[in-house]
Amino acid sequence: MKRVAVLGGYGAVGREVVAGLRGHVPEIVVAGRDLAKARTVEGATPMRLDLRSDDIERLDADAVVMCAETENVRVAETCLARGVHYVDVSASYEVLAGIERLDATEATAVLSVGLAPGVTNLLAHGFGGADVDIGVLIGTGEQHGPGAVEWTLDSLGEVGESWRMRFPPPYGTRTVHRFPFSDQYTLPGRVRTGLCLDSRALTALLPRLRRVRDAAPLRAALRHVHVGGDGFAVAVESGGRVRSFSGRRQSRATGLAAALVVRRLDGMPPGVRHIEDAVGPDFLPELAAHGFDLGEYDPE
């Protein structure tokens, strides 16, 4: 792997992908529509690239990491047809379903990369395909990227049933509200994924925001809510056991997970696969060694 391009490489997740790749691949290209912002990322080659144009057809790279949530299926198709590996952090099921249908005989595409989906898939996979409940707790104090915030606001209309999940300390048992993370649609068995925020008061508001998600003033206000910390936790429960992964800054966890996937691409056969079919049991401990915690406990 000589040249890796990070699409959206100066975004919140993209910057962390670059940090995780630095020193492990000879050249990292940071691409986005703003060359000046691309130049702010150290140790990388800046490139102006608009994913809504045909720029991608001229990109010279051995692998690309999609952190821009723009034209994902077309970009993946272009890459795979040219023998370029493709890694995507998208949490949107429709996007991943579109990429799943592509032919990949010359290169590898890895989907469901990040925290949720990503770490959640791997924790659920550890239960051997059994039915699982997944909880995702996000800190409202983190400076989330606009891309992640817009995805969350767009998804508010799909907030569903609620249930209780036990998260690792310091969070304890919380109510989570079903949220359209892609993991519950791509994993086998009966799987449901719920979201809560570190602020209990904001979490209680989630179902009420369903009907007003398109109200521009409300969206503007929610973009600037920073009342909690920058911690995160995911918990996966099945058969009376909970497995968890937690730490600070979900963007960093997501970007590092993507970088670790890229660093394994050379050993993977061609094809489109989700993370749980692409990496082995050593992946989560290696990710956790970067300052995160893996846990296992009873749900009560």
Ligand X SMILES: NC(=O)c1ccc[n+]([C@@H]2O[C@H](COP(=O)([O-])OP(=O)(O)OC[C@H]3O[C@@H](n4cnc5c(N)ncnc54)[C@H](OP(=O)(O)O)[C@@H]3O)[C@@H](O)[C@H]2O)c1
User: Footprint of ligand X on this chain (CB under 6 A)?
Assistant: 7-8, 10-14, 32-34, 37, 49-52, 67-70, 89-91, 114-118, 144-148, 151, 250-251, 254
Q: Which tokens go with 139?
A: 């800190």
Distance CA(263)–CA(1), nearest Å, equals 8
Helix then strand then coil, % of the chain, to nearest 5: 35, 25, 35
Positive or negative torsion for Cα 285, 1, 182, 91? positive
Report the residue number, 3 or 74, with the smaller CB distance to ligand X.
Answer: 74
Beta-bridge mates of residue 97: none
How big is the chain by its Cα radius of gyration, in Å?
Answer: 18
> What is the closest distance, in whole angstroms, from the C-beta atom of residue 48 to ligand X in the complex?
9
Report the residue number, 38 or 265, with the smaller CB distance to ligand X.
Answer: 38
> What is the closest distance, in whole angstroms, from the C-beta atom of residue 18 to ligand X in the complex?
11
Report the residue number, 80 or 113, with the smaller CB distance to ligand X.
Answer: 113
Which residue in 228, 234, 139 sits closest to 183, CA to CA?
234
> What is the closest distance, in whole angstroms, from the C-beta atom of residue 95 to ligand X in the complex?
9
Report the residue number, 65 or 206, with the smaller CB distance to ligand X.
Answer: 65
Q: Sort residue 19 into left (φ over 0), alpha (ψ -120 to 50) or beta.
A: alpha
**Pairing mode of beta strands 271-274, 241-248:** unpaired
3-state secondary structure of 281: coil
> What is the closest distance, in whole angstroms, from the C-beta atom of residue 250 to ligand X in the complex?
6
Report the residue number, 91 or 265, with the smaller CB distance to ligand X.
Answer: 91
Element (H, E) at 14: helix 12-21
Report the residue number, 144 or 192, with the smaller CB distance to ligand X.
Answer: 144
> What is the closest distance, in whole angstroms, from the C-beta atom of residue 67 to ligand X in the complex?
5
Q: How far apart are the first and last CA of the chain?
A: 46
> What is the closest distance, in whole angstroms, from the C-beta atom of residue 163 to ligand X in the complex?
21
Query: Which stretches does DSSP call E strand in the chain?
Result: 3-7, 27-32, 45-48, 63-66, 85-88, 108-111, 132-138, 162-167, 172-178, 191-197, 231-238, 241-248, 271-274, 293-297
> What is the closest distance, in whole angstroms, from the C-beta atom of residue 254 to ligand X in the complex?
4
Q: Are 182 and 116 in contact (CB under 8 A)?
A: no
> What is the closest distance, in whole angstroms, from the C-beta atom of residue 298 to ligand X in the complex?
26
Report the residue number, 54 or 298, with the smaller CB distance to ligand X.
Answer: 54
Report the residue number, 206 or 257, with the smaller CB distance to ligand X.
Answer: 257
Distance CA(53)–CA(139), nearest Å, equals 35
